[in-house]
Amino acid sequence: MSKLFTLSAEQIISGVRNREFTIEDYVIQLLERINDIDDKIKAFITINDEALNTARKLDKKIKSQEAVGSLAGIAVGIKDNICTKDIKTTCASKLLQEYIPPYDATVVRRLKERDAIIIGKVNLDEFAMGSTTEFGSYGPSHNPWNPDYVVGGSSGGSAASVAALECTVSLGSDTGGSIRCPASFCSVVGLKPTYGLVSRFGLVSYSNSLEQIGPLGRTVSDIVMIMNVIAGFDENDNTTRNEIKTPGFVASDVKRPVRYGLIKELVEASDPAISKLVYSSLDLLSSNDCKWEEVSLNSDYALASYYTIAMAEASSNLARYDNLRYGFDFDPEGYEWNSYFSKIRNNFGDEVKRRIMIGSHVLLSGYYAKYYLKAQKVRSILRHEVKKLFKQVDVLISPTMPVLPFKIGENIDDPVKRYLIDTNTVVANLVGTPAISLPAGFSDNLPIGLQLMTDEMQEQLLFDVSKMYESVASIKRRPDL
């Protein structure tokens, strides 16, 4: 019964079903683990003080042979920009430091309907704006592989908590790589689904045409399990696709003949240790009957397009923070409209304020055509190029990140240098295709992730090839915590 926190989601569910241990046993161990190590990792912002009660209620039902949901036993960490009813949801911002949502996001409601337990809310860059989880008002999260190093971001707490065995799985959000980047830096699996496959109802908006909620876990099977619960049409989000109402993804070991395309520009621009590992990953895949070839994707303008669109949408989506319907305690008595708003909005962090202002700039009537319209056109071209590539190959491969994790504070002063690390991940958001980061190995004990991308709504193919890669790469290491 010891070290239940090392088990995967599948193992937890079967252990609970076979009465090997109770859900209460598991949750107690997780809470103790969080208590022991989270002051080093700082993955959590809030622990759900109802988690143990929920576990006990479920155990009672199991004992009296009543039916429980398919996720009974699973403990999920929820990124703190996803609304959880009656549990503080702060987006790591001073502006929302006291906000308690009166409703659950659709993804949270669906998890709870299957009896998953919300163990707590995890850390992020403020309003999901960042790639290192250094820009939140609760301070940085620390990499479980080396606490002096960044976890990646913006879903840094989601990745770190899974890697550090503080929860079974977690949910993050991915606007330009915010699930895949921390998954790569923390050596866990992280998926950004096809745009529209998972409801964004209850996700605090940053950039609504780019972002998706997605799962992070220690195995591909765990990711598939969560996707089967959270994915599917939602009438509360009219950007969700109605092709899938009830998903039925499988995580099988089926071998298929797959054509891989290695995006050569992204490998060439990577750290040498990373490109070396990517090539050896391709050798592993080739020895399993898979063919690969080099392909070219000109994504020179993709990053500029991404940041233009993301910042423009952010300036619009964050205009709602007027401290009247949600916010913190600050009496509007005596204030005039504009001065009240400007004063409370100064509680945004530096990175958020910069992005809102640049967003305003690119949407100005004199500049709109030069920036925003051009960025949307670049997006169209990129989509066309990617679709062409998917006629030639089935799966696109690249390193998830062009760099290894770096020290906390190292890149904090150079915004453009920080933005450049998103180069490999933004394409999938701009085009709307699904992409996954898989643990691929290490360099000097720092994790490296491999990114696989398929055409839109081809998640089953993505899961099949991911499961196959996972079994040949066989990365079994755990951080020393």
List 93, 131, 141, 154, catalytic entry: 154
Q: Is 409 a residue that touches other proteins (CB under 8 A)? A: no
Q: Which of 21, 341, 368, 390 binds other proteins (CB under 8 A)?
A: 341
Q: Is 370 a residue that touches other proteins (CB under 8 A)? A: yes
The helix or strand, by DSSP H or E, that contains position 295, with its residue range, turns out to be strand 291-295
Stretch that binds other proteins, among 173-181, 332-340, 396-404, 462-470 (CB under 8 A): 332-340
For 256-287, give the DSSP string: ---EEEEEHHHHHTS-HHHHHHHHHHHHHHHT
Nearer to other proteins among residue 8 and residue 97 (C-beta):
97
Q: Is 254 a residue that touches other proteins (CB under 8 A)? A: no
Q: Is 357 a residue that touches other proteins (CB under 8 A)? A: yes
For 215-262, give the DSSP string: EEESSHHHHHHHHHHHBS--TT-TTS-TT-SS------------EEEE
d(CA 460, CA 454): 10
The helix or strand, by DSSP H or E, that contains position 170, with its residue range, turns out to be strand 169-174
Q: Which of 383, 410, 443, 458 binds other proteins (CB under 8 A)?
A: 383
Supply the DSSP symbol for 175. Answer: S
Please indicate whether residue 380 is annotated as part of the active site.
no
d(CA 213, CA 203): 8
Q: What is the largest CA-CA distance in the chain?
A: 73
Q: Which of 185, 307, 463, 469 binds other proteins (CB under 8 A)?
A: 307
Nearer to other proteins among residue 63 and residue 387 (C-beta):
387
Rule CB under 8 A: which of 32-91 touch other proteins?
none
Asked whether the CA dihedral 52, 58, 59, 61 is positive or negative, the reply is positive
Q: Which of 336, 365, 391, 444 binds other proteins (CB under 8 A)?
A: 336
Asked whether the CA dihedral 261, 265, 271, 272 is positive or negative, the reply is positive
Stretch that binds other proteins, among 59-67, 120-128, 365-373, 400-408 (CB under 8 A): 365-373
Q: Which of 106, 141, 228, 315 binds other proteins (CB under 8 A)?
A: 315
Nearer to other proteins among residue 238 and residue 296 (C-beta):
238
Q: Is 176 a residue that touches other proteins (CB under 8 A)? A: no
User: How many other C-beta atoms lie within 10 A of the C-beta of residue 114?
Assistant: 17
Q: Which of 213, 345, 423, 440 binds other proteins (CB under 8 A)?
A: 345
Please indicate whether residue 154 is annotated as part of the active site.
yes
365 phi/psi in degrees, rounded to 5: -60, -30
Contact status, residue 448 vs residue 442, Cβ threshold 8 Å: yes
d(CA 246, CA 269): 40
List 141, 155, 161, 178, catalytic entry: 178
Min separation Cβ 440 and other proteins, Å: 29
Helix axes 23-41, 51-63, angle to 10 degrees: 160
User: In the block, which residue shows the tokens 């009672």?
Assistant: 60
The helix or strand, by DSSP H or E, that contains position 24, with its residue range, turns out to be helix 23-41
With contacts defined by CB under 8 A, how many residues of the chain interact with other proteins?
67
Nearer to other proteins among residue 156 and residue 202 (C-beta):
202
Q: Which of 1, 250, 381, 472 binds other proteins (CB under 8 A)?
A: 381
Q: Is 236 a residue that touches other proteins (CB under 8 A)? A: no
Rule CB under 8 A: which of 198-227 touch other proteins?
209
Nearer to other proteins among residue 149 and residue 195 (C-beta):
195
Please indicate whether residue 131 is annotated as part of the active site.
no
d(CA 347, CA 137): 10
Nearer to other proteins among residue 16 and residue 302 (C-beta):
302
Residues that bind other proteins (CB under 8 A): 99-100, 102-103, 195, 209, 235, 241, 300-301, 304-305, 307-308, 315, 319, 322, 324-327, 329, 331-333, 335-343, 345-346, 348, 350, 353-354, 356-362, 364, 370-371, 373-383, 415-416, 419, 430-432
- So which residues are the catalytic ones? 79, 154, 178
